[in-house]
Amino acid sequence: MGRVIVLGSINVDLETKIDSYPNPGEKVVGESLQRYAGGKGANQAVAARARGVEVEMVGAVGDDDAGRASLNRLFAKGIKLRVERIPLVPTGHAIVFSDGRTNAIVVLPGANAKIGPSPLRPIHGLGPDDILLTQLETPADTVVDAVRYATKYGARVVLNLAPFAALPADVIEVADPLVVPAPDLAAFEALGVRPRSLVVLRGKDGLDWDGERISGPVVPAGDVVDTVGATDALIGTLAAELVKGADRHDAAFAALSAAADNVRHHGAQPDPRL
């Protein structure tokens, strides 16, 4: 069985609960402030590792307390770390506002924006059994280089096109699947490029894989605690199931089930406090 190699962001999430989102010029009062492990890359790596597969995390943190806490947590979960420590640059942070149903996020990239070129070169034995899982909270040029490098060695690419950005056609074309949230579908289709397969995330309605709707467990509204990170739990689980050889239906249902579990606790990862 191959590995899931995650290239992505490692953040600290600062989350506050609010009753409603402020309008421009308006001030609202938050209920509390929590400090959680986060970053789309780290979230997806933790979700993949929870499925029992080998996971390697490629990224960057600052040489600060937040970076050390983040790396210690990932290491404790059995994730192999290929992470740069960038001096004089803070670890990435995300400021998360949640009303208990939806969330709004401000991302401060920090060290994530400083990942060097050729990030996969230190990975030994990269091949067709492996999956590269990546997103766009790290520099687009770095993602492009990694996808091309992984493809050269026959690895499968799972590309989460979030936050949305236009990438070169050859990068999108090798994604299997390319994963986009439904609100970004029109912008993606405007690019006029077709990936090997396409997953469109539909929230509580499940997902569409090449146009076929696949549904998962329904979470009663009263059981939803925090929606932050549900998508990352889904995508990390999806990559793990694919590397284990699951077909798309079984992989998608496992992924949707992981997302359903994830909304039942605070933070983007299980036991997320740093």
Residues taking part in catalysis:
232
Integer Cα distance of 222 and 163 in angstroms? 29
Query: Strand pairing partners for 213?
Result: 208
User: For 180, what's the count of Cα atoms within 13 Å in the CB-facing half-sphere?
Assistant: 21
CB 47 within 8 A of CB 258: yes
CB 73 within 8 A of CB 91: no
